[in-house]
Amino acid sequence: GAVVSQHPSRVICKSGTSVKIECRSLDFQATTMFWYRQFPKQSLMLMATSNEGSKATYEQGVEKDKFLINHASLTLSTLTVTSAHPEDSSFYICSARDTGSSYNEQFFGPGTRLTVL
Amino acid sequence: RKEVEQDPGPFNVPEGATVAFNCTYSNSASQSFFWYRQDCRKEPKLLMSVYSSGNEDGRFTAQLNRASQYISLLIRDSKLSDSATYLCVVKGNNRLAFGKGNQVVVIP
C-alpha cells in the first residue's frame, strides 16, 4: 500500500524554540495533505488542510501564525510549530490523499511525538 | 455536540469472546464511514469501510444505521492481537472526523 513518512518521529525541545515536522508521500502524489494533533486519550483533531501550491486551510481555533504549513511539492508538506510551549506537546500526525486513486484514500504517517520542556 | 461520539471503555474481553461497540455521529449529511485501528503511540490504520448494507471482513462485522446515525463494529473470536483502540471515522465535506475510540483489551 501507499506509504507516508514523517520526520522526525520524536522531538524534545525547549520552550520558545521552533520545530519543523516533515510529511512525505513516498510512492504517490498528494495534492492534499492533512495535519492532525492528538492529545492523550483524545481523538485526532484536524488542524489544517494543506494544499500544494496554495495556502493551507486552518480549522477553527488553530492559529495559522503559530502552526506554519508549507506544501511546496506534490510529495512534501511541512508543519512548523513556532515558539513552542509545553501545551503544544502532543502527537502530530499527517495524512496524504492519493491524488491518482479513484477512491481518494487517505494514508497516515507514523506520527511525530513532540515534547516541549 | 461532538461530531463523532464513542464510549472509550475500556472493553475487557476474554480471549475467544465476541465484543461489539458503536459510535454515533451528528452530521446527517456524512458520506462515508470507516473503522480505524490505533495501537498505543502509533498512527491509525484503516480496518474497514462501512457500507449501508453492512459488511464483513473475517472476524470483523460493521453495520451502518443512517436513520439513527450510528455505526457498529463486532469482533468475533477475539484474539490477543485485537487489543487496540478502534476509532470510528466519518467523512463529510471532504474531511475526516474521528471519535475518541473504543479501547479493547483482550484478556488471556
Q: What is the pLDDT of residues B22-37, one digit of tens each?
A: 999 999 989 899 999 9
CA distance B78 to chain A (A): 23
CA distance B48 to chain A (A): 12
Give yes or no for B76 touching A (CB within 8 A).
Answer: no
C-alpha cell at A6: 514523517
B43 interaction partners in chain A (CB closer than 8 Å): 93, 108-111
Burial status of residue A81 (CB atoms within 10 A of its CB: 0-12, 13-18, 19 or more): buried
Among candidate residues A83, A70, A67, A80, the one with its CA nearest the CA of residue A116: A83
pLDDT classification of B2: cutoffs 50, 70, 90: confident
Listing DSSP states for B8-47 in one string gives ---EEEETT--EEEEEEES-TT--EEEEEEE-TTS-EEEE
CA distance B78 to B73: 13
Q: Given this model, what pLDDT does residue B34 score? A: 94
| Helix count and strand count (H, E) for chain B | 0, 11
Query: Chain B residue with minimal CA distance to A40?
Result: B41
Q: Given this model, what pLDDT does residue A90 score? A: 96
Residue with C-alpha cell 524554540? A17
CA distance A99 to chain B (A): 13
Give A13's DSSP letter.
E
**B96 and A110 in contact by Cβ < 8 A?**
no
**DSSP 3-state of A112:** strand
- pLDDT surpasses 80 at A21: yes
Give yes or no for A113 touching B (CB within 8 A).
Answer: yes
- Dump strand ranges (E) for chain A: 4-7, 10-13, 19-25, 32-38, 45-51, 57-58, 67-73, 76-81, 90-97, 106-108, 112-116
- The model's pLDDT over B44-87, given as tens digits with 9 standing for 90+, comes to 999 999 998 889 999 999 999 999 999 999 999 999 999 999 99
CA distance B89 to B97: 6
As a whole number, the mean pLDDT across chain A is 91
**DSSP 3-state of A25:** strand
Point out the residue among B42, B95, B98 whose CB comes nearest to the CB of A43. Answer: B98
CB pairs under 8 A between A and B: 35
Give B82's DSSP letter.
G
**A93 and B46 in contact by Cβ < 8 A?**
no
- pLDDT surpasses 80 at A105: no
pLDDT classification of A104: cutoffs 50, 70, 90: low
Burial status of residue B43 (CB atoms within 10 A of its CB: 0-12, 13-18, 19 or more): buried
- pLDDT surpasses 90 at B8: no
